[in-house]
Chain A
Amino acid sequence: MAQVLSLNGVGLTLAGNAGPVEILRDISLTVTEGETVGLVGPSGSGKSSLLMLMGGLERASSGQVLALGQDLSGMDEDGLARFRRGNMGVVFQSFHLIPTMTAHENVALPLELAGVADAFGRAAVELAAVGLGARMDHYPSQLSGGEQQRVALARAVVPRPAILLADEPTGNLDGVNGTAIMDLMFGLRDRHGATLIMVTHAPELAARCSRVVRLADGRIVGEGQLSEVGA
């Protein structure tokens, strides 16, 4: 299988009030096409930062991040934005829907940015697929948390990205809604065939991943099946 993501000796240091803070140290990791990878570890271990590095939302202080064969560290902000358009979908714990846009407009937006002609038609299909065909003209504030996350999920997968990044997608949802979102996300991934990398604290979610990477104090401390690295 082809490599979709490759991190070689990656470090991330950010400026803090009390001086530089080393968030990630010497991370080397390879993700192949079709894999589902769960990033686990205690709070502050660097899981979300690693996910952001993979998505080009954060810039590595050292090392190299290759996504779909392209070196993300060599791209500027706009280059990264253009790269994400067709290649990556991101789902956040806090949904991050644009409050002034309806569900339909939120989902169509990445297609519009990519210049896709039938953006709204495809967005409608995707919303129907997540069960929100009847709520398309609702604004985020008119939707429940679970519904908002479904919209976010539809928005992430609508451009058919090769890589789907999810940062604790069920973290803000109750058990019932969390399970529903999980089922939906894995279902969409299976249907679209994307590579899924997910940060999670939920063992049952991590258990559904083909590989789990454990982080602690900014380093990878374990890798393998959940039973091997622990939840």
Chain B
Amino acid sequence: MIGLAARIAARELRGGLAGFRVFLACLALGVAAIAGVGMVRAAIDAGLRDQGAVLLGGDAQMGFTYRFADEAERAYMAGIAERVSEIVDFRSMVVVGDGENEDRALTQVKAVDDAYPLVGAVVLEAGTLAEALAGADGLPGAVMDKVLVDRLGLAVGDRFRLGVQEFRLGAVLLREPDSATGGFALGPRTIVRTSGLARSGLLEPGTLFETAYRLDLPDGADLAARETAAEAQFRDAGMRWSDSRRAAPGVERFVDRIGAFLILVGLAGLAVGGVGVASAVRAYLEGKVATIATLKVLGATGGVVFAVYLMQIGALAVLGVGLGLILGTGAPMLAAPLIEARLPFPAEIALYPQPLAEAAFYGLTTAFLFTLWPLARSQQVRAAALYRGAAGGWPGLGALAAIAGLAVVLIAGAVWFSGTMTLALGTAGGVIGALGVLAVTAVALRALARRLTRGLRGRVAWRLAFGAIGGPASEAVSVILSLGLGLSVLAAVGQIDANLRSAIDRDLPARAPSFFFVDIQPDQIEGFLARVNGDPSVSRSENAPMLRGVITLINGQPAREVGGEHWVLTGDRGVTYSAVPPTNATVTAGAWWPEGYDGLPQISFAAEEAEEIGLQLGDRLTVNVLGRDIEAEITSFRQVDFSTAGMGFVLSMNPTALQGAPHTYISTVYATPDAEAALLRDVSRAYPNITAIRVRDAVDRVTEALGAIAQATAWAASATLLTGFVVLIGAAAAGTRARVYEAALLKVLGASRGRILLSFALRSALMGAAAGSVAVLAGAVAGWAVMVWVMEADYAFEPMSALAIVLGGIMATLLAGLAFAWGPLAARPAQVLRAQE
């Protein structure tokens, strides 16, 4: 049977692919979007993997917070590595000029030794790093990111200050090899020699800085064994190990997450394409009713008929997926230089089989999922259809089970490939839910249109428009499904983006402070507070001593074994001390230590985080602060609100536990915007070592990062919309013959072309408005779900984004509808009507 079905299928396909343009375009676009995103993700993964040592700046790295390595640690490193390079990383203020011309900006300083970079190369506008850092005129040299150079109006040879040390700009920095491993930076980079900072006052005890020791290990060194050995000795002292196997886990995680998210958006696009695929197959099979009936007259069973058309659709699906893979592979390869140049981390654009297999899986599964229904119905066509036309009917139980099975396979595949069950199931639920609501809307619109048609006597254009929507062979279902789903994705992106921006841009600064001042030395705090609190424009300031500590043990057990990979336990955290509970915190359980308490160390822990980790009152935590273990008992939990960007510490201890350790103060200052500049100038002049982080600038940086994510998402969503538009064009094209006949009849009856055009435009606009309205509803629900459940933030309906979606829907259907209106309007009635006879 298979051989015969294949022969018949091959003969059928000789008719050409004219009826399958929409089918192929929908499938190819959806697969291309997924393959393209997957290829770029794989390219970045490969880049990170292959360039691991360059990204890290060495084969391995031992990192410390707040301190340099001690003698034992240095000796260990010297013992295992052939070369070691020491890096110090911290935030500071760059100050240029004097008096009225003084200007300042936040920078992320990297202080390096002569060995830097162990691997890779720093790219400067001119010259070498060694020359640039050598300095001149008795001043140490520095290189600075082009953004900061431009922002401060500097030129090579100009002077600037970091703390109280003056530097000479030796060159403009274009690229540092190890930038991707540095995490999120609030300020552009400045690189200096560590020796040049000796008199800057910036690396005083207690100052917030990080050190990293890059290790050049002997060839063939067992990195896993080295990691285990180093962690066994130094992890409890706050040492963090990383190596070239996963040089930039943060970037890797981010790329994987955003890649998975974009692929799921692409999958929604494929679902839109599925609607087009189903429409195309349905239309094709409707045209084949006579052939199917004839086959049955000649003795073909339903199974043969099903196999014949399944093979045809299968062959076309393979072709569509193949085209998509070519497009999805070709586009990133053609744009490789552009992509590689714009990404802040290495990407090796090449042919990767895994993302292509993933895209092919999605494409083929979707194609069969959406075509099984019409295919199974073709099996039901009876020989009598040659006389009486094909009666509609439900596919058999086997086909329905196969459709359900394919849906499960597709969703399971999405969960497997994305690696995030919640996101994949959420997307699948969203798409299925949106399709359901859109289908109900389409049916309701058709019923409403039929009802309204009767009440519109005398309004010919409206009556014709409603008649076309409500009548048989209406395009309403496929138009509303395809466009509606595409617009839903875009509406959801729009709602989420607008909400995130408003949450950060509007709500937060209203409650957030103007500045964070960090690295305030204990002997500076008094003078600093005098300046700040004496300023009438400052409404409030909070300050607290700040140290960094790592929770190493919980009740004597390794902390990660007890609490898992909770963010509080995975690195060093800010620790403070206070005699009394802070004014913005409420003790929810236990009791704060009495005033003047000087007994065994006690801890007040943030209540929500304690619950997540599973901590109880009375638990004993070992916290490593600057290499010294402090064991303390949890005696209270307190509510900490991190969302206001005010001061919030997970860990607070009684003063005597920490007072002896070197530390600095952190201060948040709430001032009126017009007073910010003077405050910043006075503080940085009086205390050059103090770093000011303007919250507005930090918010801008975060908004910028979010904007890039929103832009990437919008690109993926626009692929979805483009697919929807292709489906729309397909539906409009499929209806052309009916519209030509309708226009001819109307002309015979005396309708002007203007009136006919108005009727065509009205039906398009009505369907577009319906699709857009449902999309806004679906987008709002998705936006609400993401904001409330994922972002744990408030959701507010964004009307402008919604309005744009509805208008976009109307415009898209109008464009597609009117593009195919000229034929019917131009056709001569006699010709058309004669051809119908």
Query: Which residues of B sit under 8 angstroms from A86, Cβ to Cβ?
Result: 299
Can you list, as one digit per residue, whether each of A95-119 has a CB less than 8 Å from chain B (1) or not (0)? Answer: 0111111000100011011100000
Verify if A228 is at the interface (C-beta below 8 Å from B). no
Rounded to whole angstroms, the CA-CA distance of A44 and B291 in the bound complex is 25
| A48 within 8 A of partner (CB) | yes
A41 at the interface (CB under 8 A from B): no
- The answer to whether A57 has its CB under 8 Å from any CB of chain B is yes
Of A76-84, A183-191, A209-217, the stretch lying at the interface with chain B is A76-84
A58 at the interface (CB under 8 A from B): yes
CA gap between A96 and B291 in the complex, in Å: 8
Q: Is the CB of B301 within 8 A of A78?
A: yes
Q: How far is the CA of A216 from the CA of B295 in the complex (A)?
A: 31
Q: Which residues of chain A have C-beta atoms less than 8 A from B296's C-beta?
A: 77, 81
> Are B303 and A85 in contact, with the CB atoms below 8 A?
no
B residues 368-388 near A (Cβ < 8 Å) are 382-384, 386-388
Contact B383 A57 (CB under 8 A): yes
**Is B14 interfacial (CB-CB < 8 Å)?**
yes
Measured CB to CB, the closest approach of chain B to A80, in angstroms, equals 8
Contact check, A77 vs B295: say whether CB atoms are below 8 A apart: no
Chain B positions within 8 Å of A90 at CB level: 297
Q: Which residues of A contact B298 (CB under 8 A)?
A: 84-85, 109-110, 113, 155
A96 to B385, CA, bound (A): 12
- Known contacts: A52-B384, A112-B7. The answer to whether A100 contacts B301 by CB under 8 A is no
Q: Are B299 and A113 in contact (CB under 8 A)?
A: yes
Task: Please state if A48 and B386 are interface contacts (CB–CB under 8 Å).
Answer: no
Q: From the candidates B13, B303, B382, B386, name the one contacting A92 in the complex (CB within 8 A).
A: B386
With A113-B4, A113-B304 already in contact, the answer to whether A84 and B11 are too (CB < 8 A) is: no
Q: Mark B626-662, 1 if CB is under 8 A from A, else 0.
A: 0000000000000000000000000000000000000
Instruction: Judge whether B608 is part of the interface by a CB distance below 8 angstroms.
Output: no
* Chain A: interface size category: 20 to 34
- List the B residue with the shortest CB-CB distance to A97: B294
User: When the two chains form their complex, are residues B291 and A84 in contact, meaning their CB atoms are under 8 A apart?
Assistant: no
- Of the candidates B13, B297, B304, B388, the one whose C-beta lies within 8 Å of that of A96 is B297
Q: List, in ascending order, chain A residues with CB within 8 A of B302's CB.
A: 77-78, 81
In chain A, what residue has the closest Cβ to B3?
A: A112
Task: Tell me the minimal C-beta distance from A122 to chain B in angstroms.
Answer: 14
A residues 42-67 with Cβ under 8 Å of B?
48-49, 52, 55-58
User: Does chain B have a CB within 8 A of A202?
Assistant: no
Chain B CB within 8 A of A14 CB: yes
Main secondary structure of the interface of B (DSSP, over half): helix
For A92, what are the chain B residues with a Cβ–Cβ distance below 8 Å?
A: 386
Alpha-carbon gap, A104 to B247, bound state (A): 68
With contact pairs A14-B388, A57-B383 given, residues A100 and B4 touching in the complex (Cβ less than 8 Å): no
| Inter-subunit contact B299/A82 (CB<8 Å) | yes
Residue interface mask B280-308, A partner, CB < 8 A = 1: 00000000001101111111111110000
The answer to whether A112 touches B4, judged by C-beta atoms less than 8 angstroms apart, is: yes
B12 interfacial by beta-carbon distance below 8 Å = yes
B596 beta carbon closer than 8 Å to chain A: no
A58, A85, A109, A113: the one within 8 Å of B384 (CB): A58
A99 near B4 with CB under 8 A, answer: no
Contacts of A101 in B (CB 8 A): 11
| Beta-carbon contact of A114 and B299 below 8 Å | yes
B contacts with A, residue count (CB < 8 A): 28
B398 close to A (CB within 8 Å) = no
Provide the bound-state CA to CA distance between A97 and B298, in Å.
11
Cβ contacts B1-35/A at 8 Å (1 or 0 each): 00010011001111100000000000000000000
Q: How far is the CB of B6 from chain A (nearest CB, A)?
A: 11
Cα of A204 to Cα of B646 in the assembled complex, Å: 103
Residue of A whose beta carbon sits closest to that of B305: A81
Q: Kindly state the separation between the CA atoms of A48 and B299 in the bound complex, as whole angstroms.
A: 19
The smallest C-beta distance from B391 to any residue of chain A, in angstroms, reads 9
A85 with B299, Cβ < 8 A, contacts A52-B384, A113-B4 known:
yes
Q: Are A84 and B297 in contact (CB under 8 A)?
A: yes
Contact B12 A100 (CB under 8 A): yes
Contact (Cβ within 8 A) A81 B290: no
How many Å from the CB of A149 to the closest CB on chain B? 14
Query: Which of A81, A96, A105 touches B299 (beta carbons < 8 Å)?
Result: A81
Contact B4 A55 (CB under 8 A): no
Which residue of the partner chain B has the closest CB to A76?
Answer: B302
B15–A82 CB distance below 8 A: no
**From B300, which residue of chain A is reached at the shortest CB distance?**
A113
Which residues in A have their C-beta under 8 angstroms from that of B294? 96-98
**A-chain residues with CB within 8 Å of residue B293 when the two chains form the complex:** 96
Residue of A84, A86, A100 with most partner-chain B CB within 10 A: A100
Q: A82, A99, A113 — which one has the most chain B CB atoms within 10 A of its CB?
A: A113
A82 contacts B387, C-beta separation under 8 Å:
no
Contact flag A81-B300 (CB < 8 Å), given A100-B15, A101-B11: yes
A81-B14 in contact (CB<8A): no
| Distance between Cα atoms of A206 and B385 in the complex (Å) | 27
What per-residue 1/0 map shows which CB atoms of B338-362 lie under 8 Å from chain A? 0000000000000000000000000
Question: Which residues 241-295 of B have a CB within 8 angstroms of A?
Answer: 290-291, 293-295
Smallest CB gap from A51: residue in B: B387
B835 to chain A, nearest CB (A): 16
Asked whether A57 lies within 8 Å of B11 as measured between CB atoms, the reply is no
- A sample of 14 inter-chain contacts (CB < 8 A) reads A48-B387, A55-B297, A56-B383, A57-B383, A84-B298, A96-B386, A97-B294, A98-B295, A100-B11, A100-B12, A105-B11, A110-B298, A112-B4, A114-B299
Beyond A57-B382, A81-B300, A99-B291, 20 additional pairs, beta carbon < 8 A: A52-B384, A52-B387, A57-B297, A57-B386, A77-B302, A77-B382, A77-B383, A78-B302, A84-B299, A85-B299, A90-B297, A92-B386, A96-B294, A98-B12, A100-B11, A100-B12, A100-B15, A110-B298, A110-B299, A113-B300
Q: Identify the 4 closest CB pairs spanning chains A and B, nearest first.
A: A85-B299, A78-B301, A57-B383, A110-B298
List residues of B whose CB falls within 8 A of some A CB: 4, 7-8, 11-15, 290-291, 293-304, 382-384, 386-388
